[in-house]
Structure formats: structure tokens, C-alpha cells
Amino acid sequence: MVIDDSKLDCFIAEKIIRNTGKCESIRSFLQARDALDHIAANPVDEQSHTILLVDIQMPIMNGFEFVEAFEQLPQEITRNYTVYIISSSINEADLNKVHNYRSVKQFLNKPLTSNNLSVLLG
């Protein structure tokens, strides 16, 4: 799942993900709130695992606010997701802030590449 307010970045991420051949489906959201509502209302099968690629810089609800709200969801929901923060930010405070969240596995620099996505998709 790609959560990014840039249609172009969503399109590029989807294309790279599709080209890895390692994902059953890809879903993009331009608004973090919409993604959060979708996650809460549509729990994934316990046999499935979903990777969330979350941009930091978004209007209305930014990536950090999304993660804070995501971590408030029941563990039965959150345990089926792995969160990766994606950003072109080189702000050291942003990089350090990522470590404050238990659900965030890693920070990935934009633009996403097939190499770094292949690694995280295993």
C-alpha cells in the first residue's frame, strides 16, 4: 500500500512494485486519513502481510501523524502490516523521529528504486 499525496510518486511506486513480481495487489492513497480508514475497516487475512510505504510530507495528515494513529489501532489489525517511511527529506530530525515508532521498520529515501523495494519485499 502506497500512501503519498503525489499522484506521480504513487504511479512510480506502483510500477516499480508491480515489476518486482512479488506483490499480489497494490493500493495507493493520496490522503493518509483515507488509508487509515481503509485499514481500520478492512482487516487483512492473518495469512497475509501488507507493506505500507508512507510519505512524511503530506497535507491534512502527515506521515508521522498517520503512524501515530495507526499505532492506536488494535494489535489484531496492526500486526499484519509493516510500515516504511519514504521521503526525500534529509532533515536529521525526521530521520531520528522514525525510530520513535514501534511499527516503523525503516526509512527509505525517495525516489524509490527497484533495488530497495526488492530487498524489502524479500
Q: Which residue range(s) make up the domain with 98? A: 2-121
| 24 has pLDDT over 70 | yes
| 48 has pLDDT over 90 | no
* Burial class of residue 7 in the structure, from the number of CB atoms within 10 Å of its CB (0-12 exposed, 13-18 middle, 19+ buried): exposed
Kind and range of the H or E element at 87? strand 81-87
Mean pLDDT for the chain overall: 90
Q: Name residue, grid cell 501488507.
A: 50
Give Rg (Cα) of the chain: 13
How many structural domains are present in the chain? 1
Q: What is the CATH number of the domain that holds 30?
A: 3.40.50.2300
Is the pTM higher than 0.85? The answer reads: yes
Summarised one tens digit per residue, pLDDT across range 98-110 is 889 999 998 888 8
In this prediction, what percent of the chain has a pLDDT beyond 90? 60
The values of phi and psi at residue 86, to 5°, are -120, 140
